[in-house]
Chains A and B, each alone.
Chain A
Amino acid sequence: MFNSVDLTQLARYPFTTEAKEWVKNEKVNTADILSDAVYERARMRGIARVHQALKRGIVDEVPLLGEADCIMELFSYPIARMIVAAVESEYLIRRYALAEAKKAYTALKNEPPEFISILAGEFGITTDHRGIHFTDYLKYAPTWDTKWKLVNRNLQHGYVVLQHHEIARLIQEAIREKIQRELANLFAPPEVKRIFRDDIVAMRSSVASKDRRPKIEEVNEEYFPPCIKSLAAAARAGTNIPHVGRFTLVTFLHAIGMETDDILKLFSASPDFNMEKTRYQIEHITGKASGTTYAVPRCDTILTWGLCYPDQLCKTVRHPLFYYRRRSRR
């Protein structure tokens, strides 16, 4: 993929097949990576990757000045993955995958277009000079955001014409999915738990609250306004719901205190239910993944989306949450 083995580039994108091949060809066995003093720096950096992901949601770039820097960076990635696997937390896996993807995005934005195309190919994304194929676009674009909705995009002959940083953003999503998928199937060798014990314990305690948050008071569906009731019923029945409908439903359920996992369950009847993707969408909307929490849309908005089926009480409210509060107070 990279012309002549450019170590710096491999180190910058350690999740690529080529980078993994490179590590494999070094023929260092796991035991050495985990304990040999030569790899001490790689181990430190591996721990730092995970810590940074946990604390700040992005893995920092480090200066890659010489060959040694690159080699340590390359080895730090599999180490970080083993640590994440050893913590055994769904939350950490998601958070770490996103943090690595964000780091890659930062670097990717500044790469020449040819490089971006090559990297895109690694994820099966078809690019040409115009942009990327719309089917790949749809797989990775956050289309619930107006700006990313296909209808507002420059689509020509099957390709969505995108700016450089936008392609990088879509690849970020592809990277995140890939890393997350890989981690979900990765088991850490037992030594890892021993060698990094202190760090793993610390990480476990900081994710404990995230993995299973105590359930807030019971949600009473009877009090849902008609719009939400019908969306919830549709979701449960596995029927299709327009994006805006999903969006409304998720923001609403989140606002009344429902957990991601419970919201997920609601959607699981859909025939093409994709747990990870749906989870990501939910977390994006609720702000867990993106940092922006979207507000529950107002009645006017829901009305223009054609999702409003008002009843008596609706006449006196302008917001579905008021409806719910009103009913639950009674």
Chain B
Amino acid sequence: MNFLKKRFHRYYLHSRILLPERFERREYAFMLFDEDTMHRHMAFSSREQLSRYLHSHAPAHVYYSSAYYRTPSAATMREKQWMGADLIFDLDADHLPQAEQLSYTEALVEVKKEMQKLLSFLHDDFGFGKNETRVYFSGGRGYHCHVSHKAVLSLGSQERREIIDYIMGRGLDLSEIVRERSIPREGDARYGQRFTHKTIEIDPSSGGWTRRILEGLVAFYERIRHMEREDAIRELTKIEGIGRKTAEELYGGLTDERIARIKRGKLDQATGFKRIAIPLMKNLAVSLTGEADEPVTTDIKRLIRLPGSLHGKTGLRVTPVDIDGMEGFDPLRDAVVFGDEPVKIIINKPVEITMNEQTFKLEKGDAEVPEYLAVFLVARRNAVIKKSME
């Protein structure tokens, strides 16, 4: 038996798996070590049955279906008979722009920020309670959020897609959010419509994206206002479509009184608003997915990692994260399950990593490291076990 499998086996012998709600209605799927096929369409009627399976197979990856079915073990969707599905959000580092340039740790920090944005949408806009949104570290390069509020269970994929679009700001139409008004200029009345003053207004009492954009604008303008002139101009001209002249006008016009008006939703001259709003929107939205990649979240029958199980490519545990304590969650400490007895490995690529609050700097070649790091590196194919051991 190989090193990882042995360790996983030991883990499953002693640990309690966190069972999803309606767990006997779910489909389970497994990937075993040294195999490329997924074992699907399994169902378990008791915790013991599932535990027994995990002990005897020590799988590399354990999944369950977000959907629950009348007959979860049936082979086809039709026979399974879909009854409902949790709403699942899968935030993965691979979906971040420039994911390749980030280290494992950095990537996870970025994903955590996205998760916090997501939670603010789910709590403030969608009104889910904190106890209805559960966050898990995926064991890999991301975080999952499970929503099991009863109102969402029966939503179809089109409806789920609307939720995703909302959170990603997809299809957001600025003209639905702002009101453009043409006000005749004083004294120009006799010229009629031709001399009008275009203003943009945002309803400050509105919620949803309107509120987010207005708050974002205020924060942005306040930040600009407190910058040195040249810094502010540089920041503003970074925005596509804003030239030096517009930037200067904008900066010069940012008085206290002006900002107070913006807070009330009165954006006065349209200048720059749309230009600023577009990158702002991107910033406020959650990046759930890469461009070509369809977000799996709308899938009403997808498989997700079972909380409490181990991720075969890291050896880390799929771990619940306390929403209020998210800030302090460190996957390379809090999702580590293995001990620190020394293990001899051969490293194939230099590593620098902080795990269990200990920093390791390892060169290529032989090394002796604590078991938890050995598992992590071997699983990530960054090292192999030194033969004499096995």
User: Which of A's residues lie within 8 Å of B, judged by CB?
Assistant: 133-135, 138-139, 143, 146-147, 149-159, 161, 238-240, 242-244, 246, 270-272, 274, 306
Between B156, B172, B177, B210, the greatest number of chain A beta carbons within 10 A of the residue's beta carbon is seen for B156
Which residues of the other chain, B, contact A149 by a CB distance below 8 angstroms? Answer: 162, 165, 171, 173
Cβ-defined contact, A155 with B156, below 8 A: no
Q: B207 contacts which of A155, A240, A271 (Cβ < 8 Å)?
A: A155
Contact, CB under 8 Å: A271 / B300: yes
Distance to closest chain A CB from B106 (angstroms): 27
Given A143-B162, A154-B207, answer yes or no on A270-B157 (Cβ-Cβ < 8 Å).
yes
**Smallest CB separation, A78 vs chain B (Å):** 31
Nearest-neighbor residue (CB-CB) of A242 within chain B: B161
What 0/1 pattern do residues 123 to 136 of B give for CB contact below 8 A with A?
A: 01111100000000
Closest CB pairs A-B (n = 6): A158-B127, A156-B207, A157-B127, A152-B176, A272-B156, A138-B159
Contact B206 A154 (CB under 8 A): yes
B104-133 residues at the A interface, CB under 8 angstroms: 124-128
Verify A243–B158 contact, CB threshold 8 A: yes
Give chain B interface residues in 46-96, CB to chain A under 8 Å. Answer: 77, 82
The distance in angstroms between the C-alpha atoms of A87 and B207, with both chains bound, is: 48
Q: Looking at the complex, which of B10-18, B193-201, B252-260, B291-299 is the stretch in contact with chain A?
A: B291-299
| B157 lies within 8 A of A240 (CB) | yes
Is B381 interfacial (CB 8 A cutoff)? no
Q: List 25 A-B contacts (CB under 8 A).
A: A133-B151, A134-B163, A138-B155, A138-B163, A139-B159, A146-B173, A149-B173, A150-B163, A150-B165, A151-B170, A151-B209, A152-B172, A152-B209, A154-B206, A154-B208, A156-B125, A156-B127, A156-B207, A157-B207, A158-B125, A158-B128, A239-B294, A240-B161, A240-B294, A242-B165
Q: Report whether B207 and A150 are in contact in the complex, using a CB–CB cutoff of 8 Å.
A: no
Neighbouring B residues of A154 by C-beta, 8 Å: 206-208, 210
Bound CA span A187–B358, Å: 75
Residue of B nearest to A158 (CB): B127
Which chain B residues border A158 with CB–CB below 8 Å? 125-128
Residues of A within 8 A of B124 (CB): 156-157
- Docked-complex contact A272 and B151, CB < 8 angstroms: no
Provide the bound-state CA to CA distance between A310 and B300, in Å: 30
Please name all residues of chain A whose beta carbon is closer than 8 Å to the beta carbon of B152 when the two chains form the complex. 135
Bound state CA distance, A64 and B388, in angstroms?
A: 95
Instruction: Tell me the bound Cα distance from A239 to B77 in angstroms.
Output: 13
Bound-state Cα–Cα, A242 to B295, Å = 10
**B3 in contact (CB, < 8 A):** no
CB of A146 within 8 A of CB of B171, answer yes
Q: Is B162's CB under 8 angstroms from A150's CB?
A: yes
CA distance A167 to B339 in the complex (A): 59
Say which size band chain B's interface belongs to: 35 or more
| B311, CB-defined interface residue at 8 Å | no
* Docked complex Cα distance between A303 and B209 (Å): 24
In the complex, what distance in Å separates the CA atom of A240 from the CA atom of B126? Answer: 22
> How far apart are B32's CB and chain A's nearest CB, in angstroms?
27
B169, CB-defined interface residue at 8 Å: yes
Interface residues of chain B, those whose CB is within 8 Å of chain A, are 77, 82, 124-128, 151-152, 155-159, 161-163, 165-166, 169-173, 176-177, 206-210, 291-292, 294, 298-301
Q: How far is the CB of A134 from chain B (nearest CB, A)?
A: 6
B165 touches A272 (CB 8 A): no
Contacts of A243 in B (CB 8 A): 158, 161-162, 165, 171
Closest-by-CB residue of B relative to A147 is: B176
Indicate which residue in A151, A156, A240 contacts B172 across the interface (CB closer than 8 Å). A151
- Report the nearest B residue to A269, measured CB to CB: B77
> Are B158 and A271 in contact, CB atoms less than 8 angstroms apart?
no
A156-B208 in contact (CB<8A): yes
Complex Cα spacing A270 to B77, Å: 10
Residue of A156, A157, A161, A272 touching B82 (CB-CB under 8 A)? A272
By a CB distance below 8 angstroms, the chain B residues around A240 are: 157, 161, 294, 298-299
* Contact A152 to B177, CB < 8 A, known contacts A135-B151, A157-B124, A272-B300: yes
Report the separation of the CA atoms of residues A246 and B173 in the bound assembly, to the nearest whole angstrom.
19
Residues in A with CB closer than 8 Å to B157 are 240, 270-272
Closest to B152 in A: A135
Residues of B near A133 (CB, < 8 A) are: 151
- Measured in the bound complex, the distance between the Cα atoms of B156 and A274 in whole Å is 9
Q: How far is the CA of A155 from the CA of B210 in the complex (A)?
A: 9
Nearest CB in chain B: distance from A252 CB, A: 19
Contacts of B210 in A (CB 8 A): 154
Most chain A CB within 10 A, of B125, B170, B176, is at: B125
A232 to chain B minimum Cβ distance, whole angstroms, is: 16
B165 partner, pick from A151, A157, A246, beta carbons under 8 A: A151
Chain A residues in 8 Å Cβ range of B155: 135, 138
Q: Assess A161 versus B172: contact at CB under 8 Å? Given A138-B159, A143-B162, A155-B125.
A: no
Please, how many angstroms separate the alpha-carbon atoms of A244 and B128 in the complex?
Answer: 27
- Other CB < 8 Å A-B pairs besides A138-B155, A158-B125, A272-B82, 17 of them? A133-B151, A134-B127, A143-B162, A150-B165, A151-B162, A151-B169, A151-B170, A152-B172, A154-B210, A156-B207, A157-B124, A161-B207, A243-B165, A272-B156, A272-B300, A274-B156, A306-B292
B126–A134 CB distance below 8 A: yes
**When chains A and B are docked, how far (Å) is the Cα of A242 from the Cα of B152?**
19
Q: Which residues of A contact B171 (CB under 8 A)?
A: 146, 149, 151-152, 243-244
**A residues within 8 A CB of B77?**
238, 271
Contact of A151 among B126, B159, B166, B206 (CB under 8 A): B166
What residue in chain B is nearest A130 (Cβ atoms)?
A: B207
Complex Cα distance A243/B163, Å? 12
A138: chain B residues within 8 A (beta carbon) = 155, 159, 162-163
Q: Bound state CA distance, A167 and B126, in angstroms?
A: 18
Q: Which residues of B contact A161 (CB under 8 A)?
A: 206-207
- Please give, as numbers and ranges, the residues of chain B lying within 8 Å of A244 by CB-CB distance: 171
A161 CA / B161 CA spacing, docked (Å):
20
Query: Counting chain A CB atoms within 10 Å of each CB, which of B128, B170, B291, B299 scores highest?
Result: B170
B300 contacts A153, CB within 8 Å?
no
